[in-house]
Amino acid sequence: MYQINDNYQKLPGSYLFSTIAKKVAAFTEANPDKSVIRLGIGDVTQPIAPAIIQALHKAVDEMADAASFHGYAPDLGHEFLRHAIAENDYKKRGCSISEDEIFVSDGAKSDSGNIQELFDVNCKIAVTDPVYPVYVDSNVMAGRCGVYDSDSQTWSNVIYMPCTRENHFIPEFPKETPDIIYLCIPNNPTGTTIPKTKLQEWVDYANEKGAVIIYDAAYEAYITQEDVAHSIYECMGADRCAIEIRSFSKNAGFTGVRLGFTVVPKVLTCNGVSLHAMWARRHGTKYNGAPYIIQRAGEAVYSEAGQAQLKEQVAYYMKNASVIKEGLSAAGYEVYGGVNAPYIWLKTPGQMSSWEFFDELLEEANVVGTPGSGFGPSGEGYFRLTAFGSYENTVAALERIRNL
Ligand SMILES: *Cc1c(COP(=O)(O)O)cnc(C)c1O
């Protein structure tokens, strides 16, 4: 008789968003006259920019004609898109990443979940705490995390690097040496970043210890401060220790369109084995490419009109971020993030737990956010609000919070 992959049974249920949904549903049922504003979502709300829509329409029409029809894309993705990425995301920032080191995909979630396949089951991962759940859960499925302890909400075989106000949300080198280090900068959920000099220290550390860094730069477009790197390859030696994952979801509203890419430099090797060759093999075997139409839409992200429109879109969300940040600060809250990311991470007032604050905010202000404890034990006592709502709703929500 067959057996299942028992590692799936180890996963604790993801109660965070279902518990939120249940609580909100119960509240709205009991209070049908109250309008609830949701600032908990991690999804964009603005429509796809006109330059991209235009590219989509054009690509759809091409598919209707045998002369311009496109079937399977090349394994790494269409050259026109990889060229635009290499030029705009890397060459312009002084990073020597070539087109054939870029692997186009359907998004950063799949890549950040799949990348662990390249590594031995005995490799030990290190994650920041709080953290985007995909990194840990995908390693649990692969049998790399040991056993879960529900009291401490940690896995026995995972190295946690707490990121709290005490260390300014900058992860410290762990006592135990990790093999695989996940970094997400700008960070979801905390909305914070680390200076480029600190990132360089992490790159040096990884090279010295023989560790690999999985660098999730999904929020790169939101960086406003000069001293924050847009790519890990801005750091010396990063091409020998880092894989970078990017997404078109947050910079261009592609959450429902699906496009991303992963950079695996050719000089990145482990005991003489090329990780680029491994990822190419994996990509060619298990993935048949993002749709041609969507890759054309991705190309339009880098067009002059696309860039201008997206700059406005990001600015729209960042205006919301400053409304939240300034509104909360004025109301006496301790707030972090919101400068280089569309997330605001606030310290709950007094000794309130994340969930206690969630309940108060829902019941008294009719505003929904996300309890920080849902992202890891060090998120306890914090709370996430997102800038992805409409400006009007964001202003209204802050008005309510200030009147609490
Ligand atoms: C939203 C998000 C992603 C994006 O994933 P896609 O699959 O490209 O939509 C990746 N990483 C983090 C940390 C995110 O918040």
Residues 350-367: tens digit of each pLDDT: 999 999 999 999 999 999
SS3 223: coil
Q: What is the pLDDT of residue 160?
A: 98
Is residue 184 in contact with ligand 1, taking CB distance under 6 Å? yes
Q: In the predicted model, what is the mean pLDDT of residues 392-402?
A: 97
Ligand 1 center to 271 CA (angstroms) = 31
What's the count of helices (H) and strands (E) in the chain, helices before strands?
A: 13, 17
Ligand 1 center to 303 CA (angstroms) = 23
Determine contact, residues 391/53, Cβ cutoff 8 Å: no
The yes-or-no verdict on residue 14 having pLDDT over 80 is no
Is residue 260 in contact with ligand 1, taking CB distance under 6 Å? yes
Ligand 1 center to 249 CA (angstroms) = 7
Q: What is the pLDDT of residue 13?
A: 81
Q: Which atom of ligand 1 is found nearest the CA of 259?
A: 8
The yes-or-no verdict on residue 370 having pLDDT over 90 is yes
Ligand 1 center to 134 CA (angstroms) = 9
* pLDDT tens-place string over residues 98-152: 999 999 999 999 999 999 999 999 999 999 999 999 999 999 999 999 999 999 9
Determine contact, residues 139/121, Cβ cutoff 8 Å: no
* Pairwise CA distance, residues 62 & 258, whole Å: 20
Ligand 1 center to 265 CA (angstroms) = 21
Q: Which atom of ligand 1 is found nearest the CA of 110?
A: 7
Determine contact, residues 306/49, Cβ cutoff 8 Å: yes
Q: What is the pLDDT of residue 41?
A: 78
Name the band, by pLDDT with cuts 50, 70 and 90, for residue 197. very high
Is residue 188 in contact with ligand 1, taking CB distance under 6 Å? yes
Q: What is the pLDDT of residue 15?
A: 74
Determine contact, residues 27/20, Cβ cutoff 8 Å: no
SS3 264: coil
Is residue 247 in contact with ligand 1, taking CB distance under 6 Å? yes
Q: Which atom of ligand 1 is found nearest the CA of 107?
A: 8
Is residue 128 in contact with ligand 1, taking CB distance under 6 Å? no
Is residue 138 in contact with ligand 1, taking CB distance under 6 Å? no
Q: In the predicted model, what is the mean pLDDT of residues 259-275?
A: 98
Could you tell me what percent of the chain has a pLDDT over 70? 100
Name the band, by pLDDT with cuts 50, 70 and 90, for residue 42. confident
- Residues whose CB is less than 8 angstroms from the CB of residue 73 and which lie 6 or more positions away in sequence, other chains included: 104, 288, 289, 290, 292, 295
Name the band, by pLDDT with cuts 50, 70 and 90, for residue 301. very high
Helices (H), 89-245: 108-114, 134-141, 196-209
| Secondary element (H or E) of residue 301 | helix 292-301
Could you tell me what percent of the chain has a pLDDT over 90? 98
Is residue 124 in contact with ligand 1, taking CB distance under 6 Å? no
- Residues whose CB is less than 8 angstroms from the CB of residue 27 and which lie 6 or more positions away in sequence, other chains included: 34, 36, 362, 363, 366
Ligand 1 center to 70 CA (angstroms) = 27
Token output for 97: 């990443």
* Pairwise CA distance, residues 306 & 55, whole Å: 10
The yes-or-no verdict on residue 200 having pLDDT over 80 is yes
Q: What is the pLDDT of residue 190?
A: 98
The percent helix, strand, coil of the chain (3-state, each to 5) is 45, 15, 40
Is residue 108 in contact with ligand 1, taking CB distance under 6 Å? yes
* Pairwise CA distance, residues 154 & 146, whole Å: 10
For the chain, the C-alpha Rg in angstroms (whole number) is 21
Neighbours of 274 (CB within 10 A): 16
